[in-house]
Amino acid sequence: MIVNHKYKFIFIKTQKTASTTLEIALSQLCDENDIITPITSSDEEYRKKLGYQSAINYNIPFSKYNKKDFLKFLCTGKRKRFYNHMSSSEIKRYLGKDIYDSYYKFCFERNPYDKLVSLFYHHGGFQKYSSLLEFINKGELEIIKGFDQYTIGKNIAVDDIFKFENLDESIMIISDKLNLDNPLKLPPKKLKSQFREKNTHYSKLINQQVKRKIDIIWARELKMMNYDF
């Protein structure tokens, strides 16, 4: 997740949408005044090699704490933080309404069927699970926030939701909205793509039973983004 004050944008980091690659790309626009949440040590090392701004200012100021936050801090000694897949409602609460409402907010969504397969391989694929159905039935999809991450009270809380499938075109639109002198460039290394078998289309792996489950679990995303099988 990134909050950039110079270009006045908030990047809400959704899951399985090339979000870490995008976050690293957007980091080149940031400096020590911005908020960038931590990523894995290997990804952070890669970002440093590119010369981009690392994770910074992710501890939430005490001035933003409520009583519950203070009690938790007193009991655990741990600061509350902005974190990678933070929801819109949390960001707005701790960043403040004025900044949240006035900055350009965007995120990405992905075809739920393709997202399922991507997540499946990321978690071990067929080496760990006998089938996609077993993967779903074990509750592995519960970590995906999806619709709930970029909505507040079931209302869309961002300015743009781009499709992962239109990544290159979306980057051009984002660059234009941020008034960048040059279009944003993605880093050459594709992060986390090594987990999935190459050229594995989701339609080859998803049967009707699995499809029906996805149609229910991610019904809101399918309808809102006009995705189909």
Query: Which is higher by pLDDT, 193 or 198?
Result: 198
* The CA-based dihedral angle spanning residues 216, 144, 157, 213, taken in that order and rounded to the nearest 10 degrees: -10
Q: What pLDDT is attached to residue 143?
A: 87
List pLDDT tens digits, range 125-139.
999 999 999 999 999
* pLDDT, the chain, mean: 94
Taking phi over 0 as left and psi of -120 to 50 as alpha, with beta for the rest, 162 belongs to: beta
Residue 68: C-alpha distances to residues 62, 80, 125, 149 (Å): 12, 11, 40, 22
Residues 6+ apart with CB under 8 A from 148: 87
Rounded to whole angstroms, the Cα distance separating 90 from 97 reads 11
CA–CA separation, 197 and 27 (whole Å):
29
What is the helix (H) or strand (E) element at residue 96, kind and residue range? none
pLDDT reading at 71 higher than 70: yes
Q: Which domains does the chain have, with CATH numbers?
A: 2-224 (3.40.50)
pLDDT at 192: 58
Please report, to the nearest 10 degrees, the dihedral formed by the alpha carbons of residues 54, 14, 195, 43 taken in order: 0
pLDDT at 64 over 90: yes
pLDDT at 220: 96
pLDDT given at position 191: 64
Q: Is 79 exposed, middle or buried (0-12, 13-18, 19+ CB in 10 A)?
A: middle
| Cα–Cα distance measured from residue 141 to residue 134, given in angstroms and rounded to the nearest whole number | 11
Q: What is the mean pLDDT of residues 21-33?
A: 97
Q: Is 80 exceeded by the pLDDT of residue 199? A: no
